[in-house]
Structure 1
Amino acid sequence: MANTSINELSKSLETLYLDGKLEEAVDFLLKNKPVLSPIDFHYNLGVVYTKLGQFGPGRYQFELAMKEGYLGSDILNNLNVIKSQIQVADISSSDHFYDQLLNTFSSIPMAYSFSIALVLILTLLILFRVKLLKSKKFLAVSIFFSLTPIALHSYFITGKSFAISINEMKIYEGPSAIYDVKQTMPGGAKFITGKSDKGWFYIDYPVEISGWVKKEDIGLL
C-alpha cells in the first residue's frame, strides 16, 4: 500500500509539473510532506521553486536535500542553474580558498566522509589479513590517517551556521533597520552566519558581504 501510495503521489506531482501548474505543485508537496521522505520532499520542492524562478526557496530546498544525504548529478545541475542566474559573490563563488573549502564540506553529507573512511580502513585490514601489508605499526598509522576525511569534515562544519537568502535581502551595517544598507543580495545566496541579536544575524563568510540581515530573510541550514 505504501509503495502504491508513493507511486500515485509521484504521478500526480509529475502531471501538475508537466501541465505547468507549478503553484498547485507547491501546495501538493506541502500537503503531502508527512508521507514523503525528507529527500523527496525537499528535492521536488526545490525543482518546482526553481522552475517558478524563485531561486532563494529553490536553493534552500536543494541544500536541505543534500543535508539529508542526497548528492546526485541532478541536484548539482539544478544548483549550477541557480548560481548562474543569481551570479553573486556568495560562499560558493568566492575566490578565497578557505571559503571554497567551507562550501565544499557543507555540500557533502557527513555520511560520505564516514563511508570514505570506512572503505579505507576495510581495505587496509584486508591487505593486512592477506599479508600484503605486514607491519602493524604502518597499519595503525594508515588507519589513523584514514580518519582524515571525518576530521576535516568536522573541522570545517562544526560550530558553523550556513544559510540561504530566501528573497532579496538587504545587508545592514548594524542589527537594526535604522542602520545604513551596505548592499542588497538576491534570493539564493549562500553564506555563513555568526552572532545574532534579537532577530538579526551577522554574516561572517564570505567577508565581502559581511553585515547584518533580518532573520525572516534567510533560511538556516
Structure 2
Amino acid sequence: MKKLIYLLLMLFGLSGMAQNEEAFEKANSAYADGDYEEAVELYNQILENGEASVAVHYNLGNSYYKLNRIGPSIYHYEKALKMKPGDQDVVNNLQFARNMAIDVIEEPREGGFSQFLDSTTQLFSPSGWGWVAIFCMLLFVAFFLAYYFSRKTLFKRMFFITGMIFLLLGITSAVIGNLKQNLLENRSFAIVFSEEADVRSEPNVRSDEVFLLHEGAKVKVTEDFQGWYEIELPNGSQGWIEKSALRLL
C-alpha cells in the first residue's frame, strides 16, 4: 500500500513539473508576442503551483514592467535577486523599474568598511557562501596532506602557508554566510503595491498622516499590529501603513 502511495505521489509530482514547464513555455511565447497580460497569468500560475525560480520571477518582473505596473515589477525583481544575489540582468532591470517609481528615498551614505562589508555579503546567497567555505576547507585539507607528506622544507613551507590561507578563507566565508542568513531572518522588507498609501503616526485611520508613499517603494517592516505594519525607510522615516497596501518579500 505504501509503495502504491509513493508511486502515485511521484506520478503527481512528475505531472505537475510537466504542467509547469508547459506553462513556462506558453508564458514565454505570450511575452514574445506582446501579450503581457497572458504572460503574467501563466507565470503566476506557475508560482501558485509552488514552482518558484529566478527565471519565473525575473520574467514576471519583465511582464509587469511592460504593463507599467511598477510595484509588482519591482517585487518580482527583488524576489529573483534574493534567490540569485548579484545577477547582473536582474540588477539592471530592477534599477530600470526603480527609476519609474515616484518616490526617491535617499539612503544615508555608509562608511568605507560598511560599504565594503555590504557589497561583499551580496556576492552570494547564504548557501553560496556555505559552498565557498566547504571548497576552501577541502583545499585546506589537500594542502595540509601535501605539507604532511612532503619531504622538502621549501615545499612544506609553501603548502603550509597556502593551506592556512584557505583555512582562513573558509572560516571567513562561513562567518559571512552565517551573518547574511541572520540578516535575512531578522529583516522583513515589503513593496508598496497601492498607487498611493498613507503612512500614519499610529495604527489607525484617525491618526495623523506622517507622509505618503507610492507604488514601488521598498520599506522595512519593523512591527506587525492587527491590520497594520510599522515601517521604516532607508532615510530613517517611520510610520504605520495598512497591510493591504504592501506585499512582503
Change (3 A) 1:147 1:54: same
- Aligned match of 1:86: 101
| Counterpart check, 1:46 vs 2:73 | no
Please identify, of 199-208 and 2-11, the stretch whose mean Cα deviation from structure 2 is larger: 2-11
- Write the mapping of 1:1-221 to structure 2, written as runs, cut at 5 A: 8-33=22-47, 37-39=51-53, 40-69=55-84, 71-86=86-101, 88-90=103-105, 94-97=107-110, 109-131=125-147, 132-134=158-160, 142=168, 143-168=170-195, 169-221=197-249
Q: CA deviation at 1:116?
A: 2.8
Structure whose CA Rg is larger: 2
Q: CA deviation at 1:26?
A: 1.6
Letter in 2 for 1:28: L
Q: TM-score, normalised by structure 2?
A: 0.71
By relative contact order (CA 8 Å, sep 6+), the higher-ranking structure is: 1
Q: Distance in 2 between matches of 1:105 and 1:188?
A: 25
Letter in 1 for 2:73: G
How many residues were matched structurally? 219
Q: CA deviation at 1:194?
A: 0.8
Q: CA deviation at 1:85?
A: 1.7
Change (3 A) 1:25 1:204: same
Q: TM-score, normalised by structure 1?
A: 0.79
Letter in 2 for 1:49: Y
Moved over 6 A (4+): 1-4, 98-104
Q: Distance in 1 between matches of 2:18 and 2:27?
A: 14
Q: Distance in 1 between matches of 2:144 and 2:212?
A: 58
Q: Distance in 1 between matches of 2:43 and 2:164?
A: 53
Alignment check: 8 A CA contact 2:129 2:173 kept: no
Alignment check: 8 A CA contact 1:105 1:156 kept: no
